[in-house]
Structure 1
Amino acid sequence: MDSHVTPGRDREVATLGGGCFWCTEAIFDQLKGVEKVESGYSGGKAPDPSYEDVCTGSTGHAESIQITFNPKQISFKDILQIFFTTHDPTTLNRQGADVGTQYRSAVFYHNPEQEAVAKEAIKETNAAKIWKKPVVTEVTPFKAFYKAEDYHQEYFKNNARQPYCQVVIAPKIVKLREHYRERLKAA
């Protein structure tokens, strides 16, 4: 899928890898200005991989989300600020118990402006000492996004009582609500 951003439009696209896509999708789906969040795979070599393919670690893909947003309501910089505070961007190829290159932290930029904003956001995150270790998020050009299987879409919304959702995703949602209440969509 080619999702290059056209400047001046009322919609932009961001593609991010922040560990398990169930977590990142649940976060960004709740924000004002975010129109759509899809779980999928980006940053790899194999065309149209399956979840099982990506889990082997051999495709090079990261579990990712693709966010369609209105930059008049939420900026790419704001999205990155939330991204860097709602997942751990300091661990290489890991988020909690999820380990492997498919769980790496990544910003797949769609244009030079997004690249510059991402690199600046990393500098600001490091300078703010939000984390004890430096950010290791990769900033790399967007090439392709492959939508994940249907059962991965809106996973938290459809499976909130599932143990993984309760133990891993729910605390991230609590953190989002505590720190970014003014950015949340009306319930």
Structure 2
Amino acid sequence: MNRRALIGLLFLAGSGLAPAQTDPGKEVIGTLTVTVYHATNGDAEASGQRAKAASEEIVKRLTGEQKLKFAHYRELGRDSKPLFRSYENWAQPLPPSDEILLRFEAQSTLTKEKRRRLDIELWLSRKKILKTGAAMEIGKPLLVLGPEWRGGRMIIAAELQPAEAKAK
């Protein structure tokens, strides 16, 4: 190819006249919000100054599960990330710490019941402690009882939201 033809092709590619390459795997098909709670029967202030009271809705949901029943619940952190059609994502609910990470990837399309199957991995201290395939419903969090911490337990909640939902 001569030099003049090469320059012409580069010009066309730079001007946007070349065919667009779109990756269907990068299509956002939902949002996953990961929240970490501290649950304790002791002093609620042990969660620290940055922790805030959990909403009444989540307290009701948590106390409804026997293994998650505690006297006090505090929200420690939250992260919302887009759910891509074919790519994995990482949520980091307690920045700047990377002690708790959640990796997630879509495995099936949304059904009529507003369910989506996800591969989910929970990482604590750079070690994978949980790997599961979860059928998640929009607006209904998947709850995981986490490690002991400051006289209580951590609870990790992962909630699927539709693609048009804004991050909280």
Short-chain TM bin: under 0.3
Larger strand percent: 2
What is the TM-score of this pair, normalised by structure 1?
Answer: 0.25
Larger helix percent: 1
Larger Rg: 2
What is the TM-score of this pair, normalised by structure 2?
Answer: 0.26
